[in-house]
Structure 1
């Protein structure tokens, strides 16, 4: 989760213009991968449920992007999600690396 959020923030700072469609692709990846990780017992049910808050936050941001909310507001929300992802990684060390290991 942390790597996903960091990648989005870094991309924006490097001039990538994220769209809601691009964000939805990342949300879909996260959703499917979390299910695979849970089914493979690479994460607990608690970690799965806690991760849902990050995924849900990205979904809200995607919806707000479709409503043309200001970039400043999007950036603020992404920073909040980043903080949550940091806390999630502290609570479940290695979660982000395992999530990224499924990326092809």
Structure 2
């Protein structure tokens, strides 16, 4: 999840379609990991909170919220994702390992 947010923050301009694409990827990947029992239900639920926050930020972008505010919100989620990785080691790797190269 950290990697997902890092990718968004590295963009010169964060647009809603790209963010929504990341939300869809996260939703599908987290569900897949849960069904495969690669992550616990607790990790799934914790990660879902970050995914939901990213979706909310995508809606903010759609509404025309300034990029600086969007970046600030994403940085908050990055901190949250880092804490989540500490609580559930390997979660970021598990999520990102399903991404097409």
TM range (shorter): over 0.9
Match of 1:45 in 2: 41
Alignment of 1:84 onto 2:80: yes
**For the residues of structure 2 that align with 1:79 and 1:22, how far apart are their CA atoms?**
17
Match of 2:7 in 1: 7
**For the residues of structure 2 that align with 1:6 and 1:69, how far apart are their CA atoms?**
20
Q: For residues 49-72 of structure 1, what are the alpha-carbon distances to aligned partners after superposition, in whole Å with 9 as ceiling and x for unaligned?
A: 000111011111011001101111
Match of 2:53 in 1: 57
Aligned-residue CA RMSD (Å): 0.8
Match of 2:67 in 1: 71
- Which consecutive residues of structure 1, in runs of 5 or more, have no partner in the other structure? none
Structure 1 residue 7: Cα displacement: 1.3
**For the residues of structure 1 that align with 2:3 and 2:71, how far apart are their CA atoms?**
16
**For the residues of structure 2 that align with 1:18 and 1:93, how far apart are their CA atoms?**
28
Match of 1:96 in 2: 92
Which consecutive segments of 4 or more residues in structure 1 shift more than 3 A?
A: none
- TM-score between both structures, scaled by the size of structure 2: 0.95
Structure 1 residue 22: Cα displacement: 1.0
- Which consecutive residues of structure 2, in runs of 5 or more, have no partner in the other structure? none
- TM-score between both structures, scaled by the size of structure 1: 0.92
Q: Between Structure 1 and Structure 2, how many residues are aligned?
A: 100
